[in-house]
Amino acid sequence: MKFGVVVFPGSNCDRDMQDALEKDLGKEVIMLWHKDKDLSMFTTDDCIVLPGGFSYGDYLRCGAIARFSPMMQSVIEFANKGGKVLGVCNGFQILCESHLLPGVLLQNGHQQFACKNVFIKTETGDPLQIPIAHGDGRYYADDRLLDELEANGQILFRYCDAVGNVNLADNPNGAVRNIAGIRNKAGNVFGMMPHPERATTEALSNTDGRKIFEILGLN
């Protein structure tokens, strides 16, 4: 599996993602400029990554302008053909704006930028410590959609405490039902607010991010 990392004006986690994938996970990475369109070097067994940052300065809404970039038109087509797409932080926002994932990301409930380590877990797995850095990471959807996500197993990660208890006290942004990440119905598009690429090396005393890529089948 090789990876393409899209670079938008305002991306600031694109090189972090490249470094983690290449040096820590041993993957081939191709950097993709937002004005380009060509994804012919990828197959549906590969993965396109939308990294964190502030694409187009977060003008209008986070991810709203990036959704219309030439490269995103190709990414949408790639995803609709079954190709894997991962959006992290601002990338998650772009996926929701592009309607590749349902719901929206709103301003954090406490109206402050959150930058710290948090714990997240799958429905059945152990808690993993992954950093966050966002001001608009509060996932929101109505109850009908939330019930549908839960019924379809589309909720990937929830915020929890260090032993795996899911509670409001350990929700860093007020996301509904403590949701930290979701996938689409087809299971090939993934979005999450925490940054797994910042937890893949022993140099940072945390390799839980590697487990995230394993859980998503991107290893």
Say which residues have a Cβ less than 8 Å from residue 108's Cβ, sequence separation at least 6: 114, 134, 135, 136, 137, 138, 172, 173, 174
Round to whole Å and give the CA distance between 151 and 159.
19
Q: Is 195 a catalytic residue?
A: yes
CB 62 within 8 A of CB 90: yes
Round to whole Å and give the CA distance between 134 and 108.
8
Round to whole Å and give the CA distance between 41 and 38.
8
Out of 47, 89, 96, 160, the active site residue is 89
CB 130 within 8 A of CB 170: no
Q: Is 47 a catalytic residue?
A: no
Out of 62, 97, 134, 195, the active site residue is 195
Q: Is 197 a catalytic residue?
A: yes
Burial 156-187 (b: 16+ CB within 10 A, else e): bbbbbeeebebeeebbbbbbbbbbbbbbbeee
Residue 164 DSSP class: S
Give the catalytic positions in this structure.
89, 195, 197
